[in-house]
């Protein structure tokens, strides 16, 4: 056994492409499923959340304005880097979720594949979910899907990586930007994922990751007037209801979710992609 003392990492938030500590100065201990201390995670505050929303809003015009081809390339690049950190993620997932090393590797593989699947959607949603409308009159009318805006995502509590990617990747594929509240008990894979995002080609602010308590941050995310859509998956039954209520103040889009976490290994439906898209119908007269 080596005498070397390993260098422990300080896990921080990810806001606007930077890794700040919480402005509140709060942290909370994260343990593995056996209770062994892993790290002190930042306990994000309402102010951190507002900063994250502002960063996501600032990043929205360029991310949504990028070509679908470009977004697909950028997202595929993330998958490449995920693959490169396969072992680190497997260790973190095993610690976070208390699964065997083999199971953890399988989860990471599924995560990478999930990311690739969504990366391939960027340049297809318009064709699959849009339409040329055969209206009765001398008009050209077409409907294009467009990103809704800033998405608030309360990530699943149990599935620390595959679940997280399953709820985050569709947001990015549509061209929306995201503010993610990670699993409270299992936040470390989320922080490492933000490191991957920071070193990939995803522009700063497109994804913002807050570690902290869904119950504390969820309602503020839901009532924030500059958040356009919300996914309350990880908020728990009561939190989901509270989020849905708060969201009504701004007629926010709230994803319909089940109380329990779905089976993240199942092939996704288009539901999550559709949730972050608005259908815009454009008309123009036709004539000689």
Partner 1 sequence: MSQWEYAPAPESAEIANLKQRYRPFIGGEFVDGSGEPIRTVNPATGEVLAEVGTASESDVDNAVRSARRAYERTWRKLPGAERAKYVFRIARLIQERARELAVLETLDNGKPISQSRDADVPGAAAHFFYHAGWADKLEYAGLGPDPRPLGVAGQVIPWNFPLLMLAWKVAPALATGNTVVLKPAETTPLSALVFAEICLQAELPDGVVNIVPGGDDVGAAVVAHPDVGKVAFTGSTEVGKRIQRSLAGTGKRLTLELGGKAANVVFDDAPLDQAVEGIVNGIFYNQGHVCCAGSRLLVQESIAEELLDRLRARIETLRLGDPLDKNTDIGAINSAEQLARINELVAAGEAEGARRWSSPCPLPERGFFFPPTVFSEVEQSMRIAREEIFGPVLSVLTFRTPTEAVAKANNTRYGLSAGIWTEKGSRILWLAQRMRAGVVWANTFNRFDPAAPFGGYRESGFGREGGRIGLEAYLHV
Interface residue with partner 1 among 1, 251, 266, 288 (CB under 8 A) is: 251
Residue 244, interface with partner 1 (CB under 8 A)? yes
Toward partner 1, which CB reaches closer, 23 or 226?
A: 226
8 A C-beta contact, residue 179 and residue 203: no
The least distance separating partner 1 from the CB of residue 166, rounded to whole angstroms, comes to 18
Pairing of strands 139-147, 150-154: unpaired
Token pair 């599935």 is at which residue? 159
The least distance separating partner 1 from the CB of residue 248, rounded to whole angstroms, comes to 4
Interface residue with partner 1 among 47, 67, 128, 265 (CB under 8 A) is: 128
The SS3 of residue 272 is helix
Toward partner 1, which CB reaches closer, 39 or 179?
A: 179
Cα–Cα distance, 234 to 230 (Å, whole number): 11
Residue 101, interface with partner 1 (CB under 8 A)? no
Cα–Cα distance, 21 to 44 (Å, whole number): 8
Residue 241, interface with partner 1 (CB under 8 A)? yes
Show Cβ contacts of residue 279 under 8 Å, excluding neighbours closer than 6 positions: 129, 130, 143, 144, 145, 146
Interaction pattern, residues 129-168, with partner 1; x per rule: CB under 8 A: x-x-xxxxx-x-x-x--x-x--------------------
The least distance separating partner 1 from the CB of residue 282, rounded to whole angstroms, comes to 5
Q: Which residues pair with 249 in a beta bridge?
A: none
8 A C-beta contact, residue 3 and residue 187: no
Beta strands in 186-256 (DSSP E): 207-210, 229-231, 253-254
Which positions lie near partner 1, rule CB under 8 A?
128-129, 131, 133-137, 139, 141, 143, 146, 148, 228, 240-242, 244-245, 247-251, 253, 256, 269-271, 274, 278-285
């Amino acid at each position: 056994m080596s005498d070397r003392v390993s260098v422990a990492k300080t896990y921080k938030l990810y806001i606007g492409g930077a890794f700040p500590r919480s402005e509140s100065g709060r942290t909370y201990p994260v343990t593995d499923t056996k209770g062994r201390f892993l790290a002190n995670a930042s306990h994000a505050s309402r102010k951190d959340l507002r900063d994250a929303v502002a960063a996501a809003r600032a990043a929205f015009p360029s991310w949504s304005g990028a070509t679908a081809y470009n977004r697909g390339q950028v997202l595929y690049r993330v998958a490449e880097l995920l693959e490169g950190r396969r072992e680190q993620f497997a260790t973190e997932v095993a610690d976070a979720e208390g699964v065997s090393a083999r199971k953890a590797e399988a989860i990471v593989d599924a995560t990478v594949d999930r990311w690739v699947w969504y990366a391939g959607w960027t340049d297809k949603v318009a064709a699959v979910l849009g339409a040329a409308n055969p209206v009765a009159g001398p008009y050209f009318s077409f409907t294009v899907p467009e990103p809704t805006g800033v998405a608030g995502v309360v990530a699943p509590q149990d599935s620390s990586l595959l679940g997280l990617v399953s709820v985050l990747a569709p947001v990015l594929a549509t061209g929306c930007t995201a503010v993610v509240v990670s699993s409270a008990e299992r936040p470390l894979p989320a922080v490492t994922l933000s490191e991957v995002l920071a070193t990939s080609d995803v522009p700063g602010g497109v994804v913002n990751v807050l570690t902290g308590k869904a119950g504390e941050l969820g309602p503020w995310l839901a009532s924030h007037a500059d958040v356009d859509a919300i996914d309350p998956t990880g908020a728990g039954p009561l939190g989901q209801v509270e989020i849905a209520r708060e969201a009504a103040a701004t007629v926010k889009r709230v994803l319909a979710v089940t109380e329990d976490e779905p089976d993240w290994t199942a092939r996704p439906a288009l539901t999550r992609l559709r949730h972050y898209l608005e259908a815009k119908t454009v008309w123009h007269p036709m004539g000689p």
